[in-house]
Amino acid sequence: MFSKSRINEPGPKQADSETAKTPEAPVSKPMGDFTPSAPKAKPPASVLSSDLTITGNLKTTGDIQVEGTIEGDIRAHLLTVGESATVRGEVIADDVVVNGRVIGRVRGLKVRLTSTARVEGDIIHKTIAIESGAHFEGSVQRQDDPLNNGTTKPLPAIPAAKDPAKS
């Protein structure tokens, strides 16, 4: 039914392998002391547990999953705010997923408020998704580059039309 693989069987020595008929991949020789390495795998998200309270700003190029309380600004690649989490401060990330509470401005290329989200503050985004049941108090503004801290020029004020009755 099953047969033993020939790989583990005794056979020709390493020197005899050149005369064997099995093709081998070409071996690249390292130049100097440089040895090529495999690409690094992306590290998992940093998880801030539910019993953790941080006062201060957080900044990373990686991913953060908040389950506790943060009083300060957060900048990350991907930020996930857990259902029991509270963030008081500005949130800036490429991707923002809010399951819990954010009190402050949210800036992201992609912003998603799930049905359990509670956001009190403005959202500046490139794309946004708000699920049914999410609570949101603030304004929503679309920008092509929401991660840029520079604010866009405000729209010029529209002059009020004169009321002919007051003339």
Each residue of 106-135: pLDDT tens digit?
999 999 999 999 999 999 999 999 999 999
100 located within any domain: yes
Number of domains in the chain: 1
Give residue 106's pLDDT.
97
Given a cut of 90, is residue 28 above it in pLDDT? no
Q: Is 135 a member of any domain?
A: yes
- pLDDT of residue 6 exceeding 70, the answer is no
67 lies in a domain?
A: yes
Exposure on the CB side of residue 17, measured as CA atoms within 13 A: 8
Amino acid at 73: D
Domain assignment present for residue 96? The answer is yes
Per the CB < 8 A criterion, the answer to whether 72 and 55 are in contact is yes
* pLDDT over 80 at 1, yes or no: no
Is the residue at 3 inside a domain?
no
Look at residue 13 and tell me if it is in a domain.
Answer: no
For residue 20, is pLDDT > 70?
Answer: no
* Domain region containing 80: 46-142
Question: Of 92, 94, 65, which is closest to residue 81 (Cα–Cα)?
Answer: 65
DSSP string, 12-55: --GGGGGTSSS--PPPPPPPTT----PPPPPPPPEEE-TT-EEE
80 lies in some domain: yes
